[in-house]
């Protein structure tokens, strides 16, 4: 061995992904650029995929004609009403399942039975129950968001630190105070990450809900374009749904920043 010695080989590092800004955007831009170049140069045929610039053009026409908001308005209200019903009932039922033995034993198998049912298949049933109008659409979206919210909520409540609940009891806090001030805030991280999934499902179900008895709505627009094989309009509609998903996800991100700043 020489006197200088050999430097120790570094073998730490890795396993700690950091957020790199703009990379996500670059991936989007790159993929769209490839599609544009491919459709222009002809190695992607017009039947396989529409030209991104044409989709943009269709989108502009949609916006100029004012039809965009005519479609977006009803869809957003269906999304908001349906998801609000589904999420709030889901959180309540989830908390009850987590806190009461009989409700838990009774409802967990039921939720497990409901979860895998494709809610789209139930649309005709909802039309009979709630009418061809808005009712069936709210019901479909509410039902679709309900089950994942329930599962996320009772899992989250199960994970609330029991010592905090014992602490609340030891100070003589009422049952309702413990639920409101200890259980719900403690379960909030889990509930919010469940909400990401439930709201994405709500957007997916929007298209299904607008299959029957909807003149306007993003879903109706996509379905109509699809049945006419109008790929530009189909893609324009799909892009709107994607954007909606990104917006909802970043809104939840903001809520997390605001509500969960106590997390280490």
Partner 1 sequence: MDIRLDNITHSYDDFEIMRDISLDIPSGQIVCIVGPSGCGKSTLLRIIGGLERPSSGAALQLGEPPAGCLNPLTYIFQDFALLPWRSVAGNVSLVLEDHGIKDAKAQAIIDDVLARTKLADFSKALPKQLSGGMKQRVAIARALAVNPAVMLMDEPLSALDSQTRELLMDDLVDLWTRQPFTAIYVTHNLAEAVRLGHRVVVLSRRPGQIREVVDIDKPLAERAFGDADLDSHQKHLWQLMRDEARAADAELINV
The residues of the shown chain that bind partner 1, judged by CB under 8 A, are 161, 163-164, 166-167, 169-174, 177, 181-182, 185-186, 260-264
CA angle 246, 235, 142 (to 5 degrees): 50
**What is the C-alpha separation between 67 and 137, in angstroms, rounded?**
21
Closest approach of partner 1 to the CB of residue 195, in Å: 18
* Comparison of 163 and 227: residue with beta carbon closer to partner 1: 163
* Comparison of 27 and 255: residue with beta carbon closer to partner 1: 255
**What is the C-alpha separation between 236 and 156, in angstroms, rounded?**
37
**String of DSSP letters for 69-111:** HHHHHHHHHHHHHHHHHHHHHHHHHHHHHHH-HHHHHHHHHHH
Backbone angles phi, psi at 110, to 5 degrees: -65, -45
Closest approach of partner 1 to the CB of residue 93, in Å: 24
* Comparison of 124 and 253: residue with beta carbon closer to partner 1: 253
CB 167 within 8 A of CB 107: no
Q: How many CB atoms lie within 10 A of CB 190?
A: 19
Closest approach of partner 1 to the CB of residue 212, in Å: 44
Closest approach of partner 1 to the CB of residue 54, in Å: 50
Closest approach of partner 1 to the CB of residue 169, in Å: 7
CB 206 within 8 A of CB 219: yes
* Comparison of 32 and 259: residue with beta carbon closer to partner 1: 259
* Comparison of 161 and 215: residue with beta carbon closer to partner 1: 161
Closest approach of partner 1 to the CB of residue 168, in Å: 8
Element (H, E) at 136: helix 134-158
In the three-class reduction of DSSP (H, G, I as helix; E, B as strand; rest coil), residue 115 is classed as: coil
Q: From the CA atom positions of the chain, what is the Rg in Å?
A: 24
* Comparison of 139 and 187: residue with beta carbon closer to partner 1: 187
């Amino acid at each position: 061995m020489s006197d200088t010695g050999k430097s120790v080989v570094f073998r730490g590092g890795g396993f700690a992904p950091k957020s790199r800004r703009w990379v996500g955007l670059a991936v989007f831009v790159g993929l769209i650029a490839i599609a544009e170049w491919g459709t222009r140069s002809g190695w992607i045929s017009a039947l396989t995929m529409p030209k991104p610039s044409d989709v943009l053009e269709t989108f502009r026409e949609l916006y100029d004609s004012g039809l965009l908001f005519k479609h977006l308005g009803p869809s957003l209200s269906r999304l908001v009403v349906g998801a609000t019903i589904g999420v709030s009932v889901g959180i309540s039922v989830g908390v009850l399942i987590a806190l009461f033995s009989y409700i838990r034993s009774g409802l967990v198998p039921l939720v497990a039975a409901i979860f895998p049912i494709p809610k789209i298949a139930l649309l005709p049933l909802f039309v009979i129950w709630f009418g061809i109008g808005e009712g069936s659409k709210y019901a479909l979206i509410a039902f679709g968001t309900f089950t994942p919210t329930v599962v996320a909520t009772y899992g989250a409540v199960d994970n609330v630190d029991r010592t905090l609940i014992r602490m609340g009891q030891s100070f003589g806090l009422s049952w309702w105070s413990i639920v409101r001030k200890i259980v719900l805030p403690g379960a909030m991280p889990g509930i919010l990450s469940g909400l990401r999934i439930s709201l994405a499902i709500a957007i997916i179900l929007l298209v299904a809900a607008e299959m029957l008895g909807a003149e306007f709505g993003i879903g109706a627009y996509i379905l109509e374009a699809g049945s006419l094989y109008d790929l530009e309009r189909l893609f324009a509609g799909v892009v709107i749904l994607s954007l909606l998903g990104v917006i909802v996800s970043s809104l939840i991100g903001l809520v997390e920043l605001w509500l969960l700043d106590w997390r280490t």
